[in-house]
A and B are shown apart, each in its own frame.
Chain A
Amino acid sequence: MEHYNMNLTLKVWKQKNSQDKGRFETYQVKNISSEMSFLEMFDVLNEELIREGKEPIAFDHDCREGICGMCSMYIDGRPHGPWHANTTCQLHMRAYKDGDTIVVEPWRANAFPVIKDLMVDRNALDRIVQAGGYISVNTGNAVDANAIPVEKDKADASFAAAACIGCGACVAACKNSSAMLFLSAKVSHLALLPQGGPERKSRVLNMVAQMDREGFGACTNTGACEAVCPKEISISNIARLNAEYIGAGLVSEK
């Protein structure tokens, strides 16, 4: 693809802290290379702002290679921008042309309070995982990896669910701010494997309870989550989660 430079207008959400009301600020960025990433374009803008003695724009990022789940920009009405199965850090400026205006907002959900500008607090997702998104193993010698047979189809489905990077785009996209795609990925990942068996029931019950405590909405199966998920987590996982929860919740003897 041919290289080109562009000038852009950015409308970016600025907010001092979680108490501040926040507002949009408009910035002009010049000479942006089509080969830059979206976050590199923000780096260029921030360096410019620092040079001018202004406050740079705060945004989350870490790996910049689509695997950590830290980047989180809601770009022109879509979490992670216009590309399918993509993270903000892997969005490249060739998606835009000279003269474009781009509106950038933080993830919006009461469970994700804004820390500053485009950074939101996603610890709620970590607390959901802490409530049961793990398996307990005894220490000692490592067991041979192939000692427990796993059906190929289940191993594949578990692996696909395990690809979730916990970015929260599903929550940001959902009209209900529901974390069900995230939760269903974490639950399916372990429920499909024999290693997840012993804690299977308590896991799903505790994780759903934590999700409800965090103030996420309920799922109405609209599919917006699946459409924006950078890891293409399937919405079928949500139906599996429902089955896991109903099974665990209704047959318990207590």
Chain B
Amino acid sequence: MQWSEFFTSSVGKKFVMGLTGLFLIAFLVVHVGINATIFADLFDPTENGAMFNKAAHFMGATVLIRIMEIGLFAGIILHLVQGYMLEAKNRSSRSVGYAVEMGNKGSKWYSRSMGLLGTIILLFLVIHLAHFWVKARITHTLAPVTYNGVEMHDMFTEMKMVFSQSWVVIVYVAGCISLAYHLAHGFQSAFRTVGVHNKKYNRILTNLGLCFAVIVSVLFALMPIAMFLKWVE
């Protein structure tokens, strides 16, 4: 079988969805881990975001990580182009709908709303990138801060500024809720899509996915909330 045939088949397209989804999940682990260092401030008020700024600087200054960043963008684009193509195909497979919909008889609403949840994540992502990524990596319009003679962006102060606006906090929390539901289904679905069919492991992965979805989303959501409410200053 030609690769072109494989990747244009319904199962091959889903394979790409699953793989890119898992790749994005791996990225989230790193992302949430690094950003959680802002909470160091809770334990040591003289910290003032030093740990977080240094971690962010490391991510921006390491060539290998910048190369992986390109892979990340490629992964997101592949995931959403493929996702929207599948969504369009799936919707067009039933031109005449039912008068009485099946609704939640047999499936969870969020498992049927992956396209919508993904779209909310995408909208959030555009705003999120404009807030931080563009300023830190493209226009370099962040105030400087110096630790041990090394000058770097004061991302921490920027975060506090961005998260002092209530609409931003609302957008971020909405993004996190969408992510939680997207992953509540997507985590286990991705493993099934790439072929994990052992019932014992599927059960474990389903529960692991629910925990992952909740923990990661709550941690992310707590960041804007903690700064808005000045728990982290």
Is residue B202 within 8 Å, beta carbon to beta carbon, of the partner chain? yes
What residue of chain A has the Cβ atom nearest to residue B103's Cβ? A77
Residues A218 and B14 in contact, CB atoms below 8 Å apart: yes
Residues A242 and B11 in contact, CB atoms below 8 Å apart: yes
Residues B197 and A208 in contact, CB atoms below 8 Å apart: no
A219's partner among B14, B91, B92, B102 (CB-CB below 8 A) is: B14
Chain B contact patch, size range: 35 or more
Interface residues of B (CB under 8 A from A): 1-2, 5-6, 9-15, 86, 89-103, 105-108, 111-112, 114, 185, 188-189, 191-197, 199, 202
**How many residues from A make CB contacts under 8 Å with B?**
55
B93's partner among A77, A109, A223, A247 (CB-CB below 8 A) is: A109
Of A31-39, A48-56, A175-183, the segment with at least 4 beta carbons within 8 Å of chain B is: A175-183
A228 — which chain B residues lie within 8 A by C-beta?
Answer: 106
A243 — which chain B residues lie within 8 A by C-beta?
Answer: 195-197
13 contacts between A and B (CB under 8 A): A108-B94, A108-B96, A108-B97, A177-B90, A178-B93, A216-B93, A221-B193, A238-B192, A239-B193, A242-B194, A249-B5, A249-B6, A249-B9
Number of A-B contacts (CB under 8 A): 153
Q: Is the interface of A mostly helix, strand, loop or mixed?
A: mixed
Given contacts A222-B107, A249-B12, contact A77 B195 (CB under 8 A): no
Residues A241 and B189 in contact, CB atoms below 8 Å apart: no
- Min CB distance B182 to A, Å, is 12
CB contacts under 8 Å to B, within A218-241, are: 218-224, 226-228, 234-241
Q: How far, in angstroms, from A245 to B188 measured CA to CA in the complex?
A: 19
A245 — which chain B residues lie within 8 A by C-beta?
Answer: 9, 11-12
Q: How far, in angstroms, from A219 to B105 measured CA to CA in the complex?
A: 17
Most buried by A among B101, B107, B108: B107
- Min CB distance A100 to B, Å, is 14
